[in-house]
Structure 1
């Protein structure tokens, strides 16, 4: 026990020290000279046979401009939290871990911890890929499915990006506004230009004129988001690329779509920093409109951000997110709620998300029930993209957030007694997988059910089935 306590107080970060030395292109002898220690001591620290003391950390900070807190502590805590989340996977249910085991692995053996995290993520990606394989077009990989698989395997949560975005947001707060921070740190002016001058772009970085140009028809939330997005490409590109490097992409288009999703994720994390946003969401009981006003974001941006609150020990309500157009096309799916919805095709027409277009910008709360009896609570509302001028193109879509029944009490929308007393809407995963016999909205028969002959009897539903 005494050995373990001594080890927990020491800082064993050998692989991280070795990685830093290699990134700097230095030998152990060169680093030893800079830190005023012997080469053999550098070798011992890199093999975790000696701790990296506070004095050595200070010398590292002075010699190589290293952020000591991030180098020695915060990264270890992040890895430990991620590893704890992985070990809660049902495949590990029969293995008992001592309370300090995870922290010991994260701090003492970071390379092994990283390997375990990568292996588990690859395992989850492979599971999703197997489910998608039957839908893959014969011409080659589906880039949209690749990007969705990449996000789904990680539960749409990227702790390294969140951590860096949170620190950037704190620095920006000291400047007053994100725009002021951008101009100060990047030495670039922000300008707004008419839509016709922008020639179809909403944001353009002009290095020659040293300016970031934005479409003047952007609203305040859109303008802030575009500034944050440009900051991501300028300051957080390394974190985005590191996350992409852990993925497995068969096509360049799939990788590019995933990169765009990660950049948008990072921009939202700057505007809505994890700790502050998660705390506000709980305090406000997930009132999306109140969160919009608190963080100066759009309804869709807030809804999207709510699906990313998966930090172990600081989780938010796990949500499923879907976005559809009036024709029923699904343009985005994000699942953090274990919602058994089809990965391809449309969604159930009985779900209120498809009726939201009748009452634009009105939030529709609803209880839904799947054929197996699982209940979810959802809210739906329309959102608008584009616009900003009389002749500016715009598109109306509807989005829905859904969570499992046990989390509904944390949402302000579930307080309506009339809603709780009403029967849930019976919906299905998709028509092909739903075996409800009396559904008048059915588009096609379910797999495995023979269609009944209607020579003598025609039912009031699109299809009748036999039990053969």
Structure 2
């Protein structure tokens, strides 16, 4: 079993409670010097002390496995790859130390850099703004609200306990076993909310996939959507009607920088509730283990889409009942990451495209197939990565379609829990794909697919000798 070092977390929590080190040590039944060694990460937590720590400091065991410093360090390293900081040389160990010791300061720095990037892009778009009208000048600001909400879920471990448990309670009332059906949700909406659910052609609903008409007491859903989508949309509306106060409290506690981010977060939290409602934690987690996370079987069993199943994998982190930690993402054909969630140490690119060696890009070339890959990040951590293409159709002849690739995975230690690991020869070193977050922050010097050199290292260009790329990355920079 991996040793647990959680010194920084314990110290921060002890200081939050205003407990002196000597008093805390006495409550834990250990000497002050022993506690000091634990808080300095010189000694790990034993099982006996772990129990006492959770009691005395009022912590969940999951809190002690927080990988926040690692996540922050990866984000900070990417920020420092900006040419703005080209004179800064900060090593990996120093980054982790800063992030562990001053996480609030680091997040403030990330926010400041994000604001700088917004202003820079706004400046670069000034010509277009003047050409197309004054209103266009604000356009570059809009997408960043989504980044703020993504970071909110990222730093909460992609699990929202209050909403998850409330959704499970409601699902248990509607269905003691099996899936939460569209019919049971519709009946509940009629009985408890006084809501009629009406399936209509999209043109009769104004082109919207869902539209609530409070004056009619009706929720109109696009009849051309897949049944799984219709059920999810109904679940989102139930969330807004029944969990509005809880969602508002979560949003207010997050202190978003803009109203747009707050509104997006409310929608995302309603989506979270809907997902937990149609795939309740206990039943879904048990089924996922029994089926070894077979996405197609779970999709049929719970009456949900493949994408919804993969997304739900990444949220199964209830304290004391944690599932295997997963990451999940969705990309379009241009390589834009349109969804990203992670309960793992896996890092997504905050700016620019993902690594071209990742199998998620290959999914578009092999539609309808689940692709598997052992991917190793530059920090040496290996993941079982699974990817598949999906198509979202309009539901009638001539309607536009949207093509995406979805990917999910877990650290290799959990690979045996996935049926997809059966397709991989783990003893074959050639089967390991050495990927990175993105070219701009990847330090691999021997990648044959590199699009650009890392922004935080020096390069050498030799006019007399040229490799696959026209430069060499200088070691030690």
Shorter chain as denominator, the TM-score bin is 0.7 to 0.9
Q: State the match for 2:434 in structure 1.
A: 426
Q: Which of 134, 148, 163 is matched with 2:113 structurally?
A: 134
Q: After the TM superposition, which residues 211-290 of structure 1 pair with which residues of structure 2 at under 5 Å, given as runs?
A: 211-290=218-297
Is 2:451 aligned against 1:451? no
Q: State the match for 2:469 in structure 1.
A: 461
1:125·1:150 contact (CA, 8 Å) conserved in 2? no
Q: State the match for 2:168 in structure 1.
A: 166
User: Distance in 2 between the 1:89 and 1:268 partners?
Assistant: 38
Q: State the match for 2:51 in structure 1.
A: 99
CA deviations on 1:29-53 (whole Å, 9 max, x unpaired) are xxxxxxxxxxxxxxxxxxxxxxxxx
Q: State the match for 2:157 in structure 1.
A: 155
Q: State the match for 1:371 in structure 2.
A: 378
Deviation of 1:238 after TM superposition, in Å, equals: 1.9
User: Distance in 2 between the 1:93 and 1:267 partners?
Assistant: 43
Deviation of 1:356 after TM superposition, in Å, equals: 0.5
Distance change >3 Å, CA 462–CA 367, structure 1 → 2: farther
Distance change >3 Å, CA 92–CA 451, structure 1 → 2: closer
SS of equivalent residue, structure 2 residue 459: coil
1:438·1:461 contact (CA, 8 Å) conserved in 2? no
- Greater CA drift, 289-298 or 236-245: 236-245
Q: After the TM superposition, which residues 315-394 of structure 1 pair with which residues of structure 2 at under 5 Å, given as runs?
A: 315-394=322-401
Deviation of 1:168 after TM superposition, in Å, equals: 1.1
Q: After the TM superposition, which residues 301-316 of structure 1 pair with which residues of structure 2 at under 5 Å, given as runs?
A: 301-316=308-323
CA deviations on 1:42-80 (whole Å, 9 max, x unpaired) are xxxxxxxxxxxxxxxxxxxxxxxxxxxxxxxxxxxxxxx
Q: State the match for 2:79 in structure 1.
A: none
Higher relative contact order (CA 8 A, sep 6+): 2
Q: State the match for 1:413 in structure 2.
A: 420
- State the TM-score, normalizing by the size of structure 1: 0.72
1:128·1:149 contact (CA, 8 Å) conserved in 2? no
Q: After the TM superposition, which residues 391-402 of structure 1 pair with which residues of structure 2 at under 5 Å, given as runs?
A: 391-402=398-409
CA deviations on 1:155-210 (whole Å, 9 max, x unpaired) are 11111101111111122227962222222222222111112222221111112222
User: Distance in 1 between the 2:54 and 2:188 partners?
Assistant: 38
User: Distance in 1 between the 2:319 and 2:239 partners?
Assistant: 24
SS of equivalent residue, structure 2 residue 151: helix
- State the TM-score, normalizing by the size of structure 2: 0.71
Deviation of 1:259 after TM superposition, in Å, equals: 1.4
Is 2:207 aligned against 1:195? no
2:201·2:223 contact (CA, 8 Å) conserved in 1? yes
Q: State the match for 2:99 in structure 1.
A: none
Count of residue pairs brought into register by the alignment: 373
Q: After the TM superposition, which residues 24-43 of structure 1 pair with which residues of structure 2 at under 5 Å, given as runs?
A: none
1:124·1:153 contact (CA, 8 Å) conserved in 2? no
User: Distance in 1 between the 2:290 and 2:104 partners?
Assistant: 34
CA deviations on 1:88-139 (whole Å, 9 max, x unpaired) are 99989878857367457769xxxxxxxxx9xx99x86764454454344243
- Greater CA drift, 258-267 or 340-349: 340-349
1:450·1:465 contact (CA, 8 Å) conserved in 2? yes
Distance change >3 Å, CA 194–CA 306, structure 1 → 2: same
Distance change >3 Å, CA 211–CA 224, structure 1 → 2: same
User: Distance in 1 between the 2:266 and 2:40 partners?
Assistant: 30
Deviation of 1:296 after TM superposition, in Å, equals: 0.5
Q: Which runs of 5+ in 2 are unaligned?
A: 1-37, 60-65, 73-101, 120-140
Is 2:443 aligned against 1:441? no
SS of equivalent residue, structure 1 residue 312: coil
2:373·2:424 contact (CA, 8 Å) conserved in 1? no
SS of equivalent residue, structure 2 residue 372: strand
Q: Which runs of 5+ in 1 are unaligned?
A: 1-87, 108-116
User: Distance in 2 between the 1:229 and 1:297 partners?
Assistant: 14
Deviation of 1:216 after TM superposition, in Å, equals: 1.0
1:166·1:273 contact (CA, 8 Å) conserved in 2? yes
Distance change >3 Å, CA 164–CA 390, structure 1 → 2: same
2:154·2:341 contact (CA, 8 Å) conserved in 1? yes
